[in-house]
A and B are shown apart, each in its own frame.
Chain A
Amino acid sequence: MRPAVAAVKWLARTLAIVFLVLAGSTILVRCAPGYLSDAREMDSRYADAARAELSAEAARSGSMLHMLSSEVSGWTHGNAGISRQYGIPVFELIRPRLAVTGGLLLRSLGLAWVLALSAALLSSAGRNPSMLWQIPATVLLAIPTAAMATLCLLGDRGGPVFVMALLLAARDFKFLHRALRKAWLDPHLLQARAQGMRMYRLLVAHVLPATSPQISALASLSIVTALSALVPVEVIFNIPGLGQLAWNAAMNRDLPVLLAVTMMMAVAVTLAGMASDHPPGWRSA
């Protein structure tokens, strides 16, 4: 297949995924049994007529087509809809938090990859890989993120970057260790090591190029994991980022905000996937 055709097909598939994510999220929320209920309907300060009006308004705006069209028009107008809780465009709530969350993610991912790659290189190159490398990673993965964040906060040790980096490093280390170990045990590398070739040269010339597809795929997986850890970490450390905004929206049933943040996260995951999964034409070119 020609590279251009392959690239177009790949791009079309990626765009289809983004659209299906938008439609799927909207349908999922609309089908949730309590979507049409509003907390204000249970507030005795509202008169019966006002509550009936709230209920009727929810029913009017609850049709699937109306939701999808308002979601799409919100995104095309650049405001991502109107927040139920604050009554302002969702994008105004998101914009100041993007830099906070982006900074947290970048620092956490950077630290995590330094930790995971260093540990994996050391553990995989050894002759007898010790359980001492595996046990800390397993322990870190066994602790829920929320518990780890709470303990760090209460113990006044480490911060949000530290918690996220530990979690990501533990997960990445396991994959990296396996991939690098497999590469080191390749017959031609074993022979080169037996002949006394320098480890650094083997690493740069053979091991890292051989494992680069796995490392690239793992990088996109890291972003997915980081996005999932974002909510508990931002909530517990009280960081005004997108995770805290989503949690606040979930607690106050502000679904337009929650839907917009979920969409942004889904697009981020898809873009991360695009970065690691180049079109087939590029590989053959």
Chain B
Amino acid sequence: MRVKLFAAYALAALVLMAAAVLTAPHASYSRQDREAPFAAASRKHPAGTDALGRDRLARVAAALLLSLTGAAVASAATTAAAAGIGALAAFGKAHVGWTAMLICDVFLALPWLFLLMMVRSALPLTTSPASSAAITFLVLAALGWPACAQAVYRGARNLRNSEWMFHARAGGLRSAQMMRSVIPNLIPLLLPQFLVSIPAFVIAEANLGALGLGIGEPLPSWGGMLLELDNSATLFDTRWVYFPVALLITVLLLLEAAAGEA
């Protein structure tokens, strides 16, 4: 419980810090300082600049907020879809449940990274950065629900076979009335699924971005920043910048993982 509380507070502190960095006067993640590419830390750029002279601190802060928001929204969509499908499969007729679980099996048999690459590579060449971000997280949400739906299905089946549900059915309660009691009982199952999906989506986006198939420039993303590591000469010249960024990413993901696991 202590770990969970600490992780939640630390995560909130990181988000507030990122918001403070972005709302500071003259802070911009996309403005280029053409005279200062790869600049060292200074009062103007506390974490230096990248190859195009953009402020690294603002980019890291924006990437944090974008990644977390996108992952949280995708996770919420995934959890909602899983809750709907899992409950429908458990409480619907036998053939509905069988079909829903078959669809889950089909999705689980699809290697998600290859599917993501396939869909991302088939997007129009003129896709805007904001659309690319939205589509990336939408695809993550669309592919992330089956495992969660199977967990919800198992939980809902147990509920359906519980004694109080037999009493409710025997007492003549309609399905809609029973669902009002079922959904609160599924929340302990759905909340961990929601929390566990967030770091998974953050890592998935980072991996896609590192392959050049994530969020489009000039929007910042951690995957896109990892692409900069391709140039080892740049890395060794500016390693003092990357280590804090790498540390921040690791700490953030650890906090999310701790919040999800606790």
- Which A residues contact B (CB, under 8 angstroms)? 13, 16-18, 20-21, 24-25, 28-29, 32-35, 37, 39, 42, 138-139, 141-147, 150-151, 154, 224, 227-228, 231-232, 235, 246-247, 249-251, 253, 255, 258-259, 261-262, 265-266, 269-270, 273
Contacts and interface: CB of A to CB of B under 8 A. Distances in A.
Contacts of A253: 121-122
A144 B206 CA distance: 7
A144 B111 contact: no
Contact of A270 (B109, B121, B127, B258): B109
A227 B115 CA distance: 12
B179 interface: no
Q: Which has the most chain A C-beta neighbours within 10 Å: B112, B212, B229, B257?
A: B229
B117 A246 contact: yes
B124 A255 contact: no
Contacts of B130: none
Contact of B124 (A37, A147, A224): A37
A145 B253 CA distance: 13
Contact of B254 (A142, A151, A154, A266): A142
Interface string B202-242: 01001100111100000000110010011010010000000
Interface string B189-213: 0000000000100010011001111
B239 to A, nearest CB: 9
A250 B118 contact: yes
Contact of B117 (A21, A258, A266): A258
B211 A266 contact: no
A28 B111 CA distance: 14
Given A145-B207, A146-B210, A21 B106 contact: yes
Contact of A34 (B122, B223, B253): B122
Given A146-B206, A251-B121, A262-B114, 17 more contacts: A13-B102, A20-B102, A20-B106, A24-B106, A32-B122, A33-B122, A34-B124, A37-B124, A142-B257, A143-B250, A154-B232, A224-B111, A228-B111, A228-B112, A250-B213, A269-B110, A270-B109
Given A29-B122, A34-B127, A246 B114 contact: yes
25 contacts: A13-B102, A17-B105, A17-B106, A20-B102, A24-B110, A29-B122, A32-B118, A34-B122, A34-B123, A138-B254, A144-B206, A144-B226, A146-B207, A147-B226, A228-B113, A246-B114, A246-B117, A249-B121, A250-B121, A251-B121, A255-B122, A258-B117, A258-B121, A262-B110, A269-B108
A197 B206 CA distance: 49
A231 B127 CA distance: 24
A250 B253 CA distance: 28
A262 B118 contact: yes
B257 A138 contact: yes
A35 B210 CA distance: 23
Contacts of B212: 251
B118 A147 contact: no
A16 B206 CA distance: 33
Interface string B242-261: 00001001100110011001
Interface string B166-191: 00000000000000000000000000
B111 A227 contact: yes
Contacts of A145: 207
A250 B117 contact: yes
Interface string B132-146: 000000000000000
